Chains A and B, each alone.
Chain A
Amino acid sequence: MSLDETIERLEKFVAEVRQASLVDEMTGLGSIIALSQEGRLISEAVSEFDVVVFGDLNDFKHLNDDHTHAAGDVALKTVGELMLRIFVGTFQGNAFRQSGDEFVILLKQDSVAGFLSSVPSFARIPFSYNNEGLETGMTFGYARSDGKTGFDDLLERADVACQFAKADGNAASEWTEHMKLNPLVRIGGRCRKCGAKISCNIPKSDAPRELKFCPCCGESL
């Protein structure tokens, strides 16, 4: 094989590896590498997308613990396919798996209303695993670009908004300045009677210094 042929083969191989690295194998969505590339474009204000959505699965740990990690993988795949169909197919956005059960969707401002109307489809996503009917669900937070905030900060805002949505029992929340002024704080404890480990996220202004009662047995902590 000549040197030219060897170089050509290597270039082809590198292109294939690069292409493969942009796709998340588990879900078929964009990978974290692809997200990083698109995020750079948002930070440079040259991306077509200007809304950053963060979503994660509800009680994913319980799904893994109660039904094995293979069932968790199936949940991720099922969610990924739904995201591809709705966010990418219908709303012409882009969707990525960031890590574990955390997903990022990039949209244009004019797709936000459509996104919000599709959120209920993600509240309960049923699937069958080993003949057992299971379901998973997602909660979202999103942040709109103001033209001066970088991608990493927008993603952090969307993540915070997602935590607020979970704390409030909503399917999706938009980031607001109020969330910055009164952030969620995590407090926790362990019940001396039943041993339950308890933690919750509460807006800082409402948070007690410590938990007073165990929600399982009502025992004073």
Chain B
Amino acid sequence: MNSSQEDTILGLPRRPRIADASASTILWAIAGGLIAGPVGVLVGGAAGNALANQRQPLEMAIREYFAKRGLELIFYYPAPRAFKATFRYGANAYWTVESVMPDGLPLSSEDSADWLYGNLIQNELPQVLPRIQRAS
């Protein structure tokens, strides 16, 4: 439906590419088996190779998004057309957000992951983050 070279899908931002992730997230993803590749090339920032140009796996992209905002992804619950993510925003303070695709959205697996990511950061999280900021 959409070229994965475009930065958006149905108006939502796609997942960032692996080369754009922080070194710590890349190492975490390698340790967790989400991506496989030469660590030095990735962490060293050589973004030219094919792997570095791929989009981040969904869980990795979500972890990176939270990390950049000082939040920690604690649990990730994947589902075929949805996911839930529990993150920590204080010593003993947690929140679970959900991104769910509507029925009848015929997207490929990669596009679905992009849509779920974009829906989380553009629609779901903006409803939650102000409440967290007020609470903490």
Residue positions of A touching B, CB distance < 8 A: 26, 68, 70-71, 73-74, 77-78, 126-131
Contacts and interface: CB of A to CB of B under 8 A. Distances in A.
Interface string B93-114: 1111000000000000000000
A71 B84 CA distance: 12
7 contacts: A73-B86, A74-B74, A74-B75, A77-B75, A129-B94, A130-B95, A131-B132
A22 to B, nearest CB: 15
A128 B93 contact: yes
B74 A131 contact: no
Contacts of B135: 128, 131
A78 B92 contact: yes
Contacts of A129: 94-96
Interface of B: 74-75, 77, 84, 86, 90, 92-96, 131-132, 135
Contacts of B75: 26, 70, 73-74, 77
Contact of B96 (A70, A78, A127): A70
A70 B90 CA distance: 17
Given A128-B135, A131-B131, A131-B135, A70 B77 contact: yes
A73 B95 CA distance: 12
A123 to B, nearest CB: 16
A68 B75 CA distance: 14
A131 B96 CA distance: 10
Contacts of A71: 96
Contacts of B131: 131
A128 B92 contact: yes
A73 B87 CA distance: 12
Contact of A70 (B84, B92, B93): B84
A126 B92 contact: yes
Given A126-B92, A127-B93, 20 more contacts: A26-B75, A68-B96, A70-B77, A70-B86, A70-B96, A71-B96, A73-B75, A74-B94, A77-B75, A78-B92, A127-B94, A128-B90, A128-B92, A128-B93, A128-B135, A129-B94, A129-B95, A130-B96, A131-B95, A131-B131
B90 A74 contact: no
Contacts of A74: 74-75, 86, 94
A70 to B, nearest CB: 5
Contacts of B95: 129-131
Contacts of A68: 96
Nearest to B75: A73
Nearest to B132: A131
Q: What are the 4 tightest A-B residue pairs by CB atom distance, in nearest-first order?
A: A128-B93, A127-B92, A70-B96, A74-B94
B74 A77 contact: yes
A40 to B, nearest CB: 28
